[in-house]
Amino acid sequence: MKVGLVGFAGSGKSTTFQWLTGVEPDPSKIQQGQMGMAHVPDPRLAKIIEHFKPKKHRYAEIAFLDTPGLSLSERKDNPRRLGILREGNGLVIVLDGFSGAPLAEQLTKFREELLFADLDLLTNRSEKLAAQLKRNKPQKEKELDQAEADLVKRIMETLEAGKSPRELHIRPEEEKTIRQFQLLTLKPEMVFVSQGDDPKAPLPDDLLKLAPHAMAAPVKLERELAELDEESRAVFMADLGISGSKRDEVIRNLFYGMGRIVFFTVGHDECRSWAIDKGATAIEGAGVIHTDLSKNFIRAEVIGYEDFVKANYEEKNAKAAGTFRLESKDYVVQDADIMHIRANA
Q: Domain spanning 279-343: which superfamily? A: Beta-grasp domain (3.10.20.30)
User: In this predicted structure, what is the pLDDT of residue 341?
Assistant: 98
Domains of the chain, by residue range, sit at: 279-343
Quick one: average pLDDT of 326-335?
A: 98
Quick one: average pLDDT of 251-272?
A: 97
Please enumerate, as own/partner, the contacts of 106-110 that have beta carbons within 8 Å and a separation of 24 or more: 106/8, 106/11, 107/191, 107/207, 107/210, 107/211, 108/210, 109/8, 109/72, 110/6, 110/7, 110/8, 110/70
Question: pLDDT (tens digit, 9 = 90+) per residue, 75-106?
Answer: 888 988 899 899 899 999 999 999 999 999 99
Q: How many CA atoms lie within 13 A of 134 on its CB side?
A: 5
Per the prediction, the chain carries an average pLDDT of: 93
Q: In what order do the strands lie in the sheet with 189-195?
A: 34-39, 61-66, 2-6, 90-97, 189-195, 215-217
- Strand 270-277 and strand 260-265: the pairing is antiparallel
**Burial of 48 from C-beta contacts in 10 A (0-12 / 13-18 / 19+):** buried
> Measured on CA atoms in the order 311, 316, 319, 321, is the torsion positive or negative?
negative
Q: What is the DSSP letter of 112?
A: H
Read off the pLDDT band of 230 (50, 70, 90). Answer: confident
User: In this predicted structure, what is the pLDDT of residue 173?
Assistant: 83
Read off the pLDDT band of 170 (50, 70, 90). Answer: confident
Read off the pLDDT band of 234 (50, 70, 90). Answer: confident
Read off the pLDDT band of 194 (50, 70, 90). Answer: very high
Looking at the chain, the whole-number percentage of residues with pLDDT higher than 70 is 100
Q: What is the H or E stretch that residue 14 is in?
A: helix 13-21
Quick one: average pLDDT of 53-57?
A: 97
pLDDT > 80? residue 199 = no
**Burial of 126 from C-beta contacts in 10 A (0-12 / 13-18 / 19+):** middle
Quick one: average pLDDT of 184-211?
A: 92
pLDDT > 80? residue 241 = no
User: In this predicted structure, what is the pLDDT of residue 218?
Assistant: 92
342 φ, ψ (degrees, to nearest 5): -95, 130
Contact 305, 44 (CB under 8 A): yes
286 φ, ψ (degrees, to nearest 5): -60, -40
Quick one: average pLDDT of 47-68?
A: 97
Quick one: average pLDDT of 192-219?
A: 92
Quick one: average pLDDT of 287-299?
A: 97
pLDDT > 90? residue 289 = yes
